[in-house]
């Protein structure tokens, strides 16, 4: 999800396929230069047992792409 520059916000969501549970999730700005990461913020939130979302805030002058990686697993009942 591209987050617009200069006070831009946005969100992205990810879910597991049927029959799997979401174990954990991480968000990142994969293409952002390391020396500018202090101007990029994100927060991951569990939205259900099978999904997460991430919201981002961008203080840089250019758009940055926020990604969300969700780890899924089959959990015995």
pLDDT at 28: 94
Number of domains in the chain: 1
Does residue 20 form part of some domain?
yes
The residue written with tokens 């396929």 in the block is 17
The residue written with tokens 């968000």 in the block is 27
Does residue 75 form part of some domain?
no
pLDDT at 32: 85
Does residue 23 form part of some domain?
yes
The tokens describing 45, both together, are: 């939130």
pLDDT at 8: 95
Does residue 77 form part of some domain?
no
Range of the structural domain that residue 7 is part of: 2-69
Question: Of 73, 24, 17, 72, which is closest to residue 46 (Cα–Cα)?
Answer: 24
Question: Of 73, 70, 71, which is closest to residue 19 (Cα–Cα)?
Answer: 73
pLDDT at 31: 81
**Half-sphere exposure in the Cβ direction for 35 (13 Å, CA):** 0
Task: Write down the pTM of the prediction.
Answer: 0.88
Mean pLDDT by 10 residues, the chain (77 residues): 93 97 95 88 97 96 95 91
């Amino acid at each position: 999800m591209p987050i617009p520059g200069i006070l831009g916000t946005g969100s992205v969501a990810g879910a597991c396929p049927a029959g799997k549970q979401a174990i954990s999730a991480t968000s990142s700005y994969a293409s952002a230069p390391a020396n500018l990461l202090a101007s990029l913020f994100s927060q991951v939130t569990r939205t259900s047992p099978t999904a997460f979302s991430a919201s981002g805030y961008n203080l840089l002058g250019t758009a940055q792409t926020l990604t969300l990686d969700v780890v899924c697993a089959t959990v015995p009942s």
